[in-house]
Structure 1
Amino acid sequence: MKWSVQAAVQYALGHNPDTRAAMERINAAEADLKAARAAFYPQLEVAAEYSRTNNPMYSFGNILNQGMFSDAIDFNDPGTTDTLQTKGLVQYRIYNGGRDRATVEAMGNHSQAFLMENDAVRLQLEFNVVKAFCTIVQAGEVVTSRQSALEAISASLAVARARFDEGSLLREDVLNLEVQQSRAQEQLIQARHSQSLAQRGFLRLLGLQGETVRLDPQATPAQEIPANPDAGKRPELKAMAARIKAREAMVHQARGGYLPTADLFGAYQVDKGTALDEGSGNSWTTGIRLNYTLFNGGRTGAEVERAQAQLREDRERMRSMELAFGLEMEQAVLALHQEEQRLKVTTKLVESAQESARLSRLRFMEGLVLASELIDTENRLTDAWLSHSLASASRKIAVADLRRAAGLSQFSQGK
């Protein structure tokens, strides 16, 4: 497959392990929210138990429950009885100081925070893919430049050997060109190695391995530079704002420990025995239960203090993030400006170096320049090409970084 940068971004969003892990965190947060909401529903329990006993107290209780009492029963030795007991219980908490509602609010905000963090992971992944794509393209251009430099120096070496055979060039000049050819070969090997490493990193971002990387740089239109970038739109800040709301809810939840709780309950019980002429009996119980903790060793106060401290911590972290993201934005704007100026300079540099190299090669063939001067000219041309290639890639990466710093997707389909 031949990758365009948009296709690579879309594929990475669906297959990168980091994005999948972020989605699982969202799923876990949604499950926590469902668990918290369960407190607003009645709790229904059913139970069944069979027992047999000659304990006077339990045995007499079975007799009463099964409606088998008679005056002939000896209270001290009512005999052996059994019972099959089934019971249904309904319980509903009607008040607990607002703790359940605060917990639901906290879990809802935690879920929202995970959604925003997932957006942050996606935006960072998009930037990393674009950066890796540009790095591979730039590495390919470096390989091409190194290959061209090797071919140029090899051609000059062939001319030098011919002139040496004619007796118009010193052996030292030929050796210098041979050394330069070996250096160019070494640099080409290093460039190809760097290209291979960049390709491996690109595949890792896509969640792939062991595949051949083929890119289509021409299929990618120029990315739009944000007109009014604003670091305040960063999903990380939105996530932290949601976490602060969750902390505020947890403070209310902790303060609920100072208030009472109230529960409604109802039960229906069926007792069936076989030891006393198939005795049986049904009973029901309903009521309301109030609980109020008068003293718990200061645990509620400690929980409130802890929740308040965590809230203050997150507010300070929010402030720190705002400052850090503001600095990131300024750096991204300055970096883009620098790379645009650098690209203009290197474009002129390449044009001048190309013409200089062309003239030097002609003059070397005519014996008008030394081999050392030709080597210097070729090196300047190679350096100019490399600087221009790096500036071009850096400018594209700077645009992508500015979009990331502004909390924007790299491409419209990534929104």
Structure 2
Amino acid sequence: MTNNPRKTISRRFCVLQIVCSIVAVGGPATALAAPLDLLWQDPFATQGYIVPLGKTWTGAPNNLPRATLPEAKPFRKPQSLAALTAYALAHNPQTRVAWENLRASAAGIGVADAAFLPSLSLSANAVRSQSNTTAGFRIPVLNSSSESLSLTWVLYEFGLRAAQRDNALAQLYLSGFQNNQALNQVALTVTQNYYQVIGQKALVQSYRQTVREDRANLDAARLKQRSGMATIADVLQAKSALAQAVAQLLSAQATLRSDQAALAESCGLPPYNPIPVAPLNLHHLPPDITPRMAALVHLAVRNNPLVQEAAARILAARATLREDEAQGLPSLAFSMSAGKRFQNNLQPSENWALGFTLKVPLFTGFQQSYAIQEAQRQERSARASLNQEAQSIALTVAQDYQTVMGARSAARASQIAVESARASLAAIRAQYRVGLATMLNLLSAQATLTSAEQTRVQDITTAYTQLANLVNALGMIGLPRNEAGLPALGAGPKE
């Protein structure tokens, strides 16, 4: 039976018209979609997951992972800075994240090493098929199954796998230095919060003393008023000073509670977990720095994790460059396979093959050459970033060094100012009792003493905090004497 050529052409023309009509209906915006896709706008009802505009979306699954807060830990005695730092390094989530990333990078080296070994795979399939001939005869159902075992082994590739392993090793270095940076950052945060807490506790104690002194001034003003030696103005001035001191005390106590919550959080504890700490010794100055600033700068450039991480990025860029260069070179692989094929009730047939595959890249559309150029530029950028990071750390060390020295000198001067203000207050109080000084003189002396005590606390805590910043810039958690010549920072202030 022969087909009419005119009818065949007519049918094809009709199909072409239908396709063109579908594309025309879809319009220019949907012309890239398959013709039949244009018949249904949302066959899987995906818009059912959307809520009206302005409404809260409630489509979260029941098995969505939930965040958990750490368990509270009771402390029976005041904690030193060293103990809190050690606890934070083991329990702060930031150190856990960095450590898990380090473990993942270590597994990446195993992935790179696996490329040197052969790959072995087993495959099996079963097929039941039937077909008809053009003459109208039906071929019987054919049942067949086959199993095969194949091995592939890359023998030589001009250093591609070695470059990939070096890249994985560089990623391990990066994760290691990032882990060290996380440890330093957690230690720095704990130290800053620790001295913030003990400094704020000292301010609270100072405000309490001011409240007691202002209450005593009010009692003295009332007593002198009853005896006719003072006016109501003295009493009102004393009341105003007492109210202001109470307000400052309440504000300082609220700030202390906030600082205590920050300290608990930095240690990996709930913010409501109380942590007792030793009080700040206001008569003990922060330790002096014995090494010269230039020696500290060189030490920081050598040990700071940020500088080390920038150096490791150069190794990663170099490995990437070698990997891109090897991609354009020939590779030789060995392959071997063997299998059996079963068909209906016939005897199984066997097959095997051994072969070598040589792959020689000839033209990649200039992709390979541009990849090499990109890797070369990234390697140069990484070298520039290393120098930039080193200069930044050197500047940080120099600034922290000067800040520590200045704060220590200021703390020594503030101690003298406190002793002078305390002596002046005692003298004016004695003069006020005998009528040789006014209430305004007494309150002014009291305010001077309070301000001097606040300045002393701030200078001492600033010196300790800036010393912690210097430790962090040096790439250390503590300052051992045998390496930097500095006293150890971590035992907290002496009692």
Structure 1 CA distance for aligned equivalents of residues 113 and 234 of structure 2? 85
The residue matched to 2:334 in structure 1 has which SS? strand
The alignment status of 1:377 with 2:442, answered yes or no, reads: no
Matches within 5 A, 1:342-353: 342-353=410-421
Amino acid paired to 2:83: A
The alignment status of 1:154 with 2:215, answered yes or no, reads: yes
Matches within 5 A, 1:258-337: 258-276=328-346, 279-337=347-405
1:66 match: none
Q: Tell me, yes or no, if the aligned pair for 2:215 and 2:242 is still in contact at 8 Å.
A: yes
What is the total number of aligned residue pairs between the two structures?
395
2:308 match: 238
Matches within 5 A, 1:56-205: 80-205=141-266
Q: Tell me, yes or no, if the aligned pair for 2:285 and 2:460 is still in contact at 8 Å.
A: no
The alignment status of 1:356 with 2:397, answered yes or no, reads: no
**1:386: how far off?**
1.0
- Deviating runs (4+, > 4 A) in structure 1? 54-57, 76-80, 217-226, 411-415
Structure 1 CA distance for aligned equivalents of residues 289 and 349 of structure 2? 81
Cα 1:364–1:341 shift into 2, 3 Å:
same
Structure 2 CA distance for aligned equivalents of residues 393 and 385 of structure 1? 12
Structure 2 CA distance for aligned equivalents of residues 176 and 293 of structure 1? 93
The residue matched to 1:213 in structure 2 has which SS? coil
The alignment status of 1:27 with 2:100, answered yes or no, reads: no
Structure 1 CA distance for aligned equivalents of residues 410 and 217 of structure 2? 31
Q: Tell me, yes or no, if the aligned pair for 1:267 and 1:284 is still in contact at 8 Å.
A: yes
Structure 2 CA distance for aligned equivalents of residues 217 and 109 of structure 1? 46
1:250 match: 320
Amino acid paired to 1:107: A
TM-score between both structures, scaled by the size of structure 1:
0.90
Higher relative contact order (CA 8 A, sep 6+): 1
Structure 1 CA distance for aligned equivalents of residues 226 and 247 of structure 2? 27
Amino acid paired to 1:402: L
Structure 2 CA distance for aligned equivalents of residues 16 and 91 of structure 1? 46
Amino acid paired to 1:4: S
Post-superposition Cα deviations, 1:52-72, rounded to whole Å, max 9, x if no partner, equal: 345699xxxxxxxxxxxxxxx
2:459 match: 391
Structure 1 CA distance for aligned equivalents of residues 104 and 141 of structure 2? 53
TM-score between both structures, scaled by the size of structure 2:
0.76
Alignment counterpart, residue 6 of structure 1, candidates 82, 86, 92: 82
Structure 2 CA distance for aligned equivalents of residues 400 and 6 of structure 1? 13
Cα 1:222–1:5 shift into 2, 3 Å:
farther
Amino acid paired to 1:9: T
Post-superposition Cα deviations, 1:235-255, rounded to whole Å, max 9, x if no partner, equal: 111111111101101001011
Post-superposition Cα deviations, 1:355-378, rounded to whole Å, max 9, x if no partner, equal: 111111111111110111111100
Amino acid paired to 2:459: A
**1:307: how far off?**
1.5
Amino acid paired to 2:262: G
Amino acid paired to 1:374: L
**1:259: how far off?**
0.6
Cα 1:124–1:251 shift into 2, 3 Å:
same
Structure 1 CA distance for aligned equivalents of residues 262 and 289 of structure 2? 26
% identical aligned pairs: 22
Cα 1:222–1:160 shift into 2, 3 Å:
closer
Alignment counterpart, residue 206 of structure 1, candidates 252, 263, 267: 267
Unaligned stretches of 5+ residues in structure 2: 1-74, 481-487, 491-495
The residue matched to 2:115 in structure 1 has which SS? helix
Structure 2 CA distance for aligned equivalents of residues 104 and 34 of structure 1? 9
Post-superposition Cα deviations, 1:177-225, rounded to whole Å, max 9, x if no partner, equal: 1111111111111111111111111011011112122113589997784
The residue matched to 1:46 in structure 2 has which SS? strand
Aligned-residue CA RMSD in angstroms?
A: 2.4
Cα 1:43–1:226 shift into 2, 3 Å:
farther
The residue matched to 1:48 in structure 2 has which SS? strand
**1:275: how far off?**
3.3
The alignment status of 1:40 with 2:116, answered yes or no, reads: yes
Amino acid paired to 1:184: A
The alignment status of 1:18 with 2:97, answered yes or no, reads: no
The residue matched to 1:336 in structure 2 has which SS? helix
**1:124: how far off?**
1.7
Cα 1:77–1:224 shift into 2, 3 Å:
farther
Amino acid paired to 2:300: A
Unaligned stretches of 5+ residues in structure 1: 58-75
Structure 2 CA distance for aligned equivalents of residues 80 and 321 of structure 1? 73
